[in-house]
Chains A and B, each alone.
Chain A
């Protein structure tokens, strides 16, 4: 390459026509408009404003920390579920997997009379194995993930109850609060900081960390590109050398990891676990991701969007209580709120795409 061919060094701008469009510096506003989570942020602002007016206690600091806590319990799971949806798959076993993880941890520690951290470690390995099982089955059989994870969902529901009854003799686990390591594990998974009268639960911190890590993976690493690629078009991705099988198994392991975090939180905040819990929560995670701008068809979405989606859900579910509405209508309002947030989301995105 001779110096004569070198391009002149001057900043490219939108005013310059005929240049390479990939080298254009788009303005910040323009770049924001193209983000998947933009619509959900507008939706969240609308829901926040609505409850600030409709429910007098909603704006108190203690109320907001309750809302944030409720959001974080959904949000921790919504992050990897969003990544999985960007990768073009579903996980219907995510809800009961949380409870499985808690049960394994509690019963292993109790039965082996081991330090609770041993149970926590074993639980992590077993839960990750469940994730690998989901991913392997999906990539080996080529069956839709909807079917595969529906099967896992039922199997885990049965295992939760069957094993708990078999080992503990009742439907809930025995207390492990008097065992070694419980206090330090509680500090990690279920403590809260008191700022005056306000409690900040540690799950909120975990949630933010997970969102940050997931966002970094998606936008700054090769793995992130793989996730978008396998969700957009798996065959094309495979053709250009993306490890599709590994990526999908990894995504299921991500869900399993978050289920382990949520499960340990359940265990160490409540000490005993009911084996029948968790059923139905998988849809809350999917809803949070979908409201946050993840497409049901894969290939598009963001972790921040899923976090905002979980926050909308937390605000709506607790705001209805603060507004003291009749709980018979609760689910109706919740559904309507989610639909409106998603519609607003879609409308904002359409406007953004038209402008971009």
Chain B
């Protein structure tokens, strides 16, 4: 028994990887900022309620940003999410019941949240909107909106596609009923000189996403660009393209470690990032500034965190940050 253990230990020591793994992660974490409050304001509670589904990479990075700012500003940060408008508004209501000191809400389903945001303001809770709802934010009486204008981001994609001489593009929507996603594709369609088609896929079911894109590429061999609306779907689109034997360039909205690697090795063309870390971080920080000093940023206009077009030349620097979970 002891001999087996010793052998196993010996094997694992001898079989060390000099790259990657937990050790590399810990080294990166040591380089990242530590966690201690930098202010002596009271310990306020801020709640964030988003329209994210379960296990969403993008919102995870938003949360990381918010957590980091919360540590620095001595804030207790709580988070809730539901992809269905009715339940998202009930979540906001339950944080109002708890009398939190500030609210951060994403308005992907603005109509569902209109009343409850008004209720928060009536209860004297400052609200900042993030990520989606740039048109509604001001009308609903939020302090400010932090995010990117989806239409503007879409237009940037259309222009970049023109620059790359593309003729026929496919826009892959992975969340049916998300107004922001529609705006992205419509924006791209507006500036893109070629022909752009929409394809709806079931974002919670990756194999389905792959087979849908695959069959579309097989059906139409003229498609020379595929634009996915979320980072995790870019790698899937690359797989679909290889399976279908298509020549299309894969481009994507948003960023993650895989996308950074893909940009570096050339399997992806470009990415349009809206810097989710910044959205979470700024939302908490701006609420803190408002509570502490009545400061409001943006002068009544949304505070834009994107679009930032990322290509091969930026990829190397971003690779480390994506692994750290902040880009």
Instruction: Tell me if A78 counts as interface (CB < 8 A to partner B).
Output: no
Beta-carbon nearest neighbor of A275 in chain B: B177
B81 adjacent to chain A (CB < 8 Å): yes
Q: Once the chains are docked, how many angstroms separate the CA of A300 from the CA of B56?
A: 41
Q: Name A's interface SS.
A: helix
Q: A171-B179, A327-B79 given as contacts; is B98 within 8 A of A272 (CB)?
A: no
Say if the beta carbon of B208 comes within 8 Å of chain A. no
Do A277 and B97 form a contact, CB below 8 Å, given A69-B90, A170-B182, A324-B78? no
The answer to whether B85 has its CB under 8 Å from any CB of chain A is yes
The answer to whether A322 and B86 have CB atoms under 8 Å apart is: no
Question: Is A183's beta carbon under 8 Å from chain B?
Answer: no
Which residues on the A side are within 8 Å of B111 (C-beta)? 172, 175, 270-272
A274-B85 in contact given A161-B200, A324-B78 (Cβ < 8 Å): yes
Inter-chain CA distance A172–B136, complex, in Å, is 15
- Once the chains bind, are A322 and B84 in contact (CB under 8 Å)? no
Q: Are the CB atoms of A63 and B97 closer together than 8 Å?
A: yes
B80–A277 CB distance below 8 A: no
Chain B residues near A277 (CB, 8 Å)? 84-86, 177
A248 contacts the other chain (CB 8 A): no
Q: Does A115 contact B (CB under 8 A)?
A: no
B 176-209 contacts with A by CB, 8 A: 176-179, 182, 200
- Please, how many angstroms separate the alpha-carbon atoms of A276 and B174 in the complex? 11
Q: In the complex, what residues of A have CB within 8 A of residue B112's CB? A: 270, 274
Instruction: Say yes or no: is A269 at the interface (Cβ < 8 Å to chain B).
Output: yes
Are the CB atoms of A270 and B85 closer together than 8 Å?
yes
Would A322 and B94 be within 8 Å (CB), given that A274-B109, A327-B79, A331-B54 are in contact?
yes
A276 CA to B97 CA, complexed, in Å:
29
Alpha-carbon distance between A70 and B176 when the two chains are bound, in angstroms: 24
Contacts of B81 in A (CB 8 A): 327
Q: Which of B85-99 contact A (CB under 8 A)?
A: 85-87, 90-91, 93-99
> What's the Cα separation between A63 and B97 when bound, in Å?
6
Q: Give min CB distance, B294 to chain A, whole Å.
A: 26
Residues B94 and A161 in contact, CB atoms below 8 Å apart? no
Measured CB to CB, the closest approach of chain B to A261, in angstroms, equals 14
Beta-carbon contact of A172 and B54 below 8 Å: no
Q: Which residues of chain A have C-beta atoms less than 8 A from B78's C-beta?
A: 324
A215 at the interface (CB under 8 A from B): no
A66 to B86, CA, bound (A): 12
Instruction: Give the contacts of A176-198 with B (CB-CB under 8 A).
Output: none
Interface size (B, Cβ < 8 Å)? 30
Q: Which of A119-171 contact B (CB under 8 A)?
A: 161, 170-171
B112 nearest CB neighbor, chain A only: A270
Residues of B58-116 whose CB lies within 8 A of A: 78-81, 84-87, 90-91, 93-99, 109, 111-112, 114-115
Known: A161-B176, A275-B177, A318-B90. A171 touches B182 (CB 8 A): yes
Q: Are A276 and B80 in contact (CB under 8 A)?
A: no
Q: Which residues of A contact B90 (CB under 8 A)?
A: 66, 69-70, 318
In the complex, which residues of chain B have a beta carbon less than 8 angstroms from the beta carbon of A327? 79-81
Q: Is the CB of B177 within 8 A of A321?
A: no
B54 contact set on A, CB distance < 8 A: 331
Which partner residue on chain B sits nearest A190 by CB separation? B115
8 A Cβ contacts from A267-306 to B: 269-272, 274-278, 281
Q: Are A62 and B182 closer than 8 Å at their CB atoms?
A: no
**With A and B bound together, what is the CA distance between A275 and B176 in angstroms?**
8
Does chain B have a CB within 8 A of A60? yes
Please measure, in the bound complex, the distance between the C-alpha atom of A170 and the C-alpha atom of B78, giving whole angstroms.
33
CA distance A272 to B115 in the complex (A): 13
CB closest residue in chain A, given B90: A70
In the complex, whether A57 has a CB less than 8 A from a CB of chain B is yes
Residues of B within 8 A of A324 (CB): 78, 98
Cα distance, A60 to B98, chains bound together (Å): 9
Closest to A177 in B: B111
Flag if B94 contacts A63 (CB, 8 Å).
yes
Contact of B179 among A66, A69, A170, A318 (CB under 8 A): A170
With both beta carbons as reference points, the residue of chain B lying nearest to A62 in the complex is identified as: B97
Tell me which of A62, A269, A327 has the highest count of chain B C-beta atoms within 10 A of its own C-beta.
Answer: A327
16 A-B contacts (beta carbon < 8 Å): A57-B99, A60-B97, A66-B93, A172-B179, A175-B111, A270-B85, A270-B86, A270-B112, A271-B114, A274-B85, A277-B84, A318-B94, A321-B80, A322-B97, A322-B98, A327-B81
Additional A-B contacts beyond A63-B98, A321-B94 (15; CB < 8 A): A60-B97, A69-B93, A161-B177, A170-B179, A171-B176, A171-B178, A171-B179, A270-B109, A270-B112, A274-B112, A275-B176, A276-B175, A276-B176, A281-B84, A327-B81
Complex A-B, nearest 10 residue pairs according to Cβ-Cβ distance, in ascending order? A276-B177, A276-B176, A274-B177, A270-B111, A63-B97, A272-B111, A57-B98, A321-B94, A270-B112, A62-B97
